[in-house]
């Protein structure tokens, strides 16, 4: 056996060691997956929020909730407030429920509801909670009924 290739091998691979394959790009051309030179750079992927950060945020919100003790004060539609209102406020007292209304206060303190008690309850609330009001929301009858044990009272 000789080290020289036979004629059929020489015809099948002429200059196989000296030339690049036919399908390969020229040496100084960019790779096929790279963007053209004039195109803007690709946008970086959106950063993901790590789960530990979400957990930390949740814990902080719970602590703020406990410390600030928000509450809802519901005023049914009456002469002074014809459409009614629900007020979200901060720093409610220890003896005040999360959802409260002037009628609910009257029921607990006097056992009934009258205009004088309603007025005093609303005035007392507005004096103490005005600086702590976060939002004024539309009236919610369902919330109002929670404060009066399901009973409604006239305007």
Say if 134 falls within a structural domain.
yes
Could you count the other beta carbons within 10 Å of the beta carbon of residue 104? 22
pLDDT tens, residue by residue, 53-112: 999 999 998 888 777 788 899 988 877 777 889 999 887 777 788 899 999 999 999 988
Query: Is 132 inside any structural domain?
Result: yes
Answer yes or no: is 36 within a domain: no
pLDDT (average), residues 112-128: 88
Tell me how far the alpha carbon of residue 44 is from its chain's centroid. 24
Structural domain that includes position 89: 69-147
Closest CA to 69 of 103, 24, 100, 33: 100
Residue 23 within a domain: no
123 in a domain, yes or no? yes
Locus of tokens 């957990």: 55
d(CA 82, CA 147): 19
Give the whole-angstrom CA distance, residue 87 versus residue 122.
12
Number of domains the chain contains: 1
46 belongs to a structural domain: no
């Amino acid at each position: 056996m000789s080290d020289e290739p036979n004629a059929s091998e020489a015809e099948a691979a002429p200059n196989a060691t000296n030339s690049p394959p036919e399908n390969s790009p020229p040496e100084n051309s960019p790779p096929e997956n790279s963007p053209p030179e004039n195109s803007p750079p690709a946008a970086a992927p959106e950063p993901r929020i790590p789960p530990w950060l979400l957990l930390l945020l949740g814990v902080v919100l719970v602590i703020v909730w406990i410390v600030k003790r928000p509450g809802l004060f519901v005023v049914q539609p009456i002469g002074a407030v014809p459409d009614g209102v629900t007020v979200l406020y901060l720093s409610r007292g220890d003896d005040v429920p999360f959802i409260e209304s002037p009628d609910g206060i009257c029921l607990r303190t006097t056992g009934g509801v009258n205009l004088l008690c309603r007025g005093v309850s609303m005035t007392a609330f507005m004096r103490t909670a005005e600086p702590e009001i976060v939002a004024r929301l539309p009236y919610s009858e369902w919330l109002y009924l929670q404060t009066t044990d399901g009973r409604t009272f006239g305007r």
